[in-house]
Each structure stands twice: as C-alpha cells, then as structure tokens.
Structure 1
Amino acid sequence: MAAERRRGERVVFERGVPAHMMGIDGTWRRDCTLEDVSETGAKLTIEGSVEGLHLKEFFLLLSSTGLAYRRCELAWVNGDQIGVNFLKTGDKKKRAPARREQVV
C-alpha cells in the first residue's frame, strides 16, 4: 500500500462529486468526478482520455456556472485517476507591480 503523502486531512465522497477540468487557455474541457479533497489537493476520476492535454496547470470547475473553481497542477496519474495540487495566487507567476499614474 502506498504511503499517504498528503499533509492535510481529506474528505472522501462516497459517490463522488461531478466536476469539470478545463485548460488554462480554455481550449479543452473534460468531465471528471471529485473522489476526495483536502485543503491542498484532490483525487479525480477522469472521463475520457487525458492524452495530449496540457495538465501541468488547469482549472477544476466545481460549479456548472464556473464560478467555483480551483487552479490546479498535476501531481500523479494512475489509470483514469489523477491527483492534483491546488495552486494559490502567486504560486506560479509573479504579478507585475501595479503601475501608478504620474500626476503632472
């Protein structure tokens, strides 16, 4: 049995929660099932092939309107299941400092 490496406690869903994965640039979307979730990541079961998808960074859409989402990065793959780490704002790219207009 693989050792549990997750730091936070997780919530396991008995039947899974329907969700969607979407590319950062919006060029692809896949249905998935949220199997478990913690503060830092989740386990998903993917419907269809993930071959050719850019999974380094993507969105996990948790609502049908897309208003509830998490930015993710791929942690592991095991058949049709993947593990993802949730990214916090500023984890991957540093934002440019806000420009101030000069007062003349």
Structure 2
Amino acid sequence: MIDAEKKRQSRKSVRQSAWIILDGGFARRPCFVIDLSTTGAKIAVDDASAASAGFQLTFSRDARTGRRCQAVWRNGTTLGVRFIA
C-alpha cells in the first residue's frame, strides 16, 4: 500500500516560460516549466547547476514574489522541484 503523503500529485502540462530568482532577487535565470502540480514542478534550465538548493520560481520576470522551491532531483538540464513554505 502506498503512503498517501508519498503518492505523487497529479501534474498538469503547462509548457510555459518562467524565471528562477536567486540570491534574494539579485539574479534571475530563464527557465521553462514543463509541468506543474500543487506540490512542485518539473523545469528545464540552460545550466542546472545555477539553480541552488533553494530559490524562487516565478512566471513574470519583474515579479517580486514567487513560489519558494527546493530542487529534489536533477537530470541534465531538467530539475524536479518541491514547493516549500
């Protein structure tokens, strides 16, 4: 039996441009959100090493707010992220 907390949330394909905001808003990197759920997302970036352990994901380059994220897996230029409070 699968533990309800470990069960993967349903993801929705969004295929939308977005930005990773690093260093308290001083650095922005473009990315592409492949899919999205209530608990996380799969994103593609040019340089996966540029995304630190914690960052913000936003759909607007000028946005001052976004969702706090934590990278949970990396595969080449693709990242799986979990939204954190």
| Residue identity opposite 2:8 in structure 1 | R
Q: Which structure's relative contact order is higher, taking Cα pairs within 8 Å and 6+ residues apart?
A: 2
Query: Secondary structure of 1:44's match?
Result: strand
Number of residue equivalences: 80
Consecutive unaligned residues of structure 1, counting only runs of 5 or more, are 89-104
Bigger-Rg structure (1/2): 1
CA RMSD across the alignment: 1.9
Q: Which has the higher strand share?
A: 2
Q: Which has the higher helix share?
A: 2
- Aligned-pair identity in percent equals 31
Consecutive unaligned residues of structure 2, counting only runs of 5 or more, are 1-5
- The corresponding residue for 1:21 is 20
Runs of 4 or more consecutive aligned structure 1 residues displaced over 2 Å after TM superposition: 24-28
| Residue identity opposite 2:28 in structure 1 | R
In 2: Cα distance, 1:33 partner to 1:6 partner: 25
TM-score norm. by structure 2 comes to 0.80
In 1: Cα distance, 2:45 partner to 2:7 partner: 20
